[in-house]
Amino acid sequence: MSSTWRSGRKILAFTACLTGGLLLSGCGDSDAERYWQDYHRTLESALALDAIPRRAPDNIGAFPERRARLFDLPEVREGLIGIYALRECRITALVAAHNNQLGRVAPPSQQWLYQRALWQRLSGCWNTPVPDGLATVDRQRLHRLTLTKTQQLPYASWNALFDSSEWEKSFARASHPVDFTRVDIRPALGAVNYLQRMVRHQFSRSWEQDSGTLEHQLKILRKRPLTAQTLRTLMLATQRLREATATLNTTTPTRCLPAWDMGYIAATRHSARRWLTAVNALFDSVPVTPPNAMHTYRQRWLSLDNQRAPWSAFKTALVEHHSARFRFPACRR
């Protein structure tokens, strides 16, 4: 047998695994898929059935492109002389650092810290005796800058959150379902809670953000695409439940069903609800009307109320499957 032919077989087998949605054992099944394989086999064995027909679940929708999910915020440009005139507001070095080459290419998280620090100093300065000692043109400049940055800050917060690579990757379609009995989402929940706290305190002049803490929380979110994994876990569960339900509904209930180990289901339901609740709360914490593309994505994929969204579809499929199982007597131990 030639090495070329063997290589060709390996490529074909790998392609089959991809196009088959990782349904077959030996193709790299996830822990989540193995749970459903075992459950379907349990039903097949108990009821003396042929293999339950299965297909790969659909993928989640694509996260909106960058331009569609962010707000266009024009830069506020003031000449060096104008900024220097406001030196008592302690913004000169801050603006200079932002405008240099490194400042312009800083990641979204650092841009967020800059925008908030600039607002804190402008707002704090405006509420001190400093404006009274400024020339009229400089006092007007300070007022204009303070007002503009106050209006822009919520939009800057939104952009910082949804322009970050951590959040973009959290919605990556190139992800897979997970077994939530083996995944601890508490660190990620803590990270999202910290981001919410930053948003809630964005107009506080006394609350000081910390760059190191922010980057640490984002690093936690970077470890896994948890939003996408949650959605794909729900969609896999929904698909497998519907397949099992369809089989039970067309089977005469002459045999009994063994008890169903619901540990995996309970963990999925608990973790998915907690995570989607936290993600939606982060959306709601920013006091802006989201761009249309983001609103549409949220309603279709992240909603806890939309019947077409993965969470509600999973709940409905679970109820329907319990009803289908109820037709069969329970096996005695």
Q: Taking 60 as the threshold, does the pLDDT of residue 63 lie above it?
A: yes
- Tell me the domain boundaries of the chain: 32-62+164-333, 71-162
Q: Which residue has the tokens 């989540």?
A: 32
11 vs 59, residue with greater confidence: 59
pLDDT classification of 209: cutoffs 50, 70, 90: confident
Of 272, 258, 251, 186, nearest to 223 (Cα)? 186
pTM to 2 decimals? 0.87
In sequence order, which residues have a C-beta less than 8 Å from that of residue 244 and are 6 or more positions away?
39, 40, 43, 52, 321, 324
Of 96, 90, 91, 81, nearest to 137 (Cα)? 81
Q: Taking 80 as the threshold, does the pLDDT of residue 27 lie above it?
A: no
Q: Taking 90 as the threshold, does the pLDDT of residue 194 lie above it?
A: yes
Of 323, 68, 99, 108, nearest to 214 (Cα)? 108
pLDDT in tens, 156-176: 999 999 999 988 999 999 999
What mean pLDDT, rounded, does the chain reach? 88
Q: Which residue has the tokens 């809670």?
A: 193
Residue 330 has phi, psi (to 5 degrees) of -85, 135
User: Which amino acid belongs to residue 140?
Assistant: Q
CA 105 to CA 115: how far, in whole Å?
A: 14
pLDDT in tens, 258-285: 999 999 999 999 999 999 999 999 999 9
* Ramachandran class of 48: left when φ > 0, alpha when ψ lies in -120 to 50, beta otherwise: left
